[in-house]
Amino acid sequence: MLKCSFIEGPILHRLKYGKGRGQNLAKAVGFKFNKNRTIIDATAGLGYDAFILASLGANVTLIERSEKIYDLLKAAISEAKLYGGEISKIVNRMNLLFGDSKDILPNIAPEVILIDTMYKDRKKSALVKNDMRLVREVVGSDSDHVELINVALNNASKRVVIKQPRYAETLDNIKGCSHQILGKIIRYDVYVTI
């Protein structure tokens, strides 16, 4: 069953052992340059990446267009707000919006945008993660991925970060990225837009 929680489960392991601002996600969004990053997670999903970024001090706006995933995420954020302690402080830095990022991004003057769609071939890597397989069953394959990236590139004032499986092909119709951050399983393609 698809579940979303910030008070139990794998996210707490990631919070505890994730190497803080030294982890690749933090490097990709550019924490080095600004300790108080404001980040738009344009593909919120279960909110795990957003939660990690918020735990590092960022204010994160999450956008999700699937009603079912949005409802799960909204409930998990509400539950975590009531939980108290550090978890509540973290989710208080998360602001969830419902809708399609392609429509919303041009209206919110984003600085840094994170994109992690279901588009890529996840057979060997991220599909191993059961929860992402279940998300895919709900949302499908995000076939408008390229369109979303182009909207993000046209609107981010600082950078766009695309999270992909490490060996995913670079898309032909997207211009080359500024740099990449490579992990064992995940790759971040960073487009500096300043």
Residues that bind ligand SAM (CB under 6 A): 42-43, 45-49, 63-66, 69, 100-102, 116-118, 132, 135, 139, 142, 148
Asked if 16 and 9 count as a contact pair (C-beta separation under 8 A), the reply is: no
Smaller CB distance to ligand SAM: residue 69 or 84?
A: 69
Q: Which among 62, 48, 12, 55 is positioned nearest to 31, based on CA atoms?
A: 55
Smaller CB distance to ligand SAM: residue 65 or 93?
A: 65
Helix (H) or strand (E) holding 54, with range, is helix 48-55
- Here the tokens at position 154 are 């046209």
Provide, rounded to whole angstroms, the least separation between the CB of residue 71 and ligand SAM: 12
- Here the tokens at position 131 are 């929860």
Smaller CB distance to ligand SAM: residue 117 or 158?
A: 117
Provide, rounded to whole angstroms, the least separation between the CB of residue 148 and ligand SAM: 5
Smaller CB distance to ligand SAM: residue 65 or 158?
A: 65
- Here the tokens at position 51 are 């939660």
Provide, rounded to whole angstroms, the least separation between the CB of residue 86 and ligand SAM: 19
Provide, rounded to whole angstroms, the least separation between the CB of residue 69 and ligand SAM: 4
Q: Cite the beta strand spans of the chain per DSSP E.
A: 38-41, 59-64, 94-98, 112-115, 159-165, 179-182, 186-192
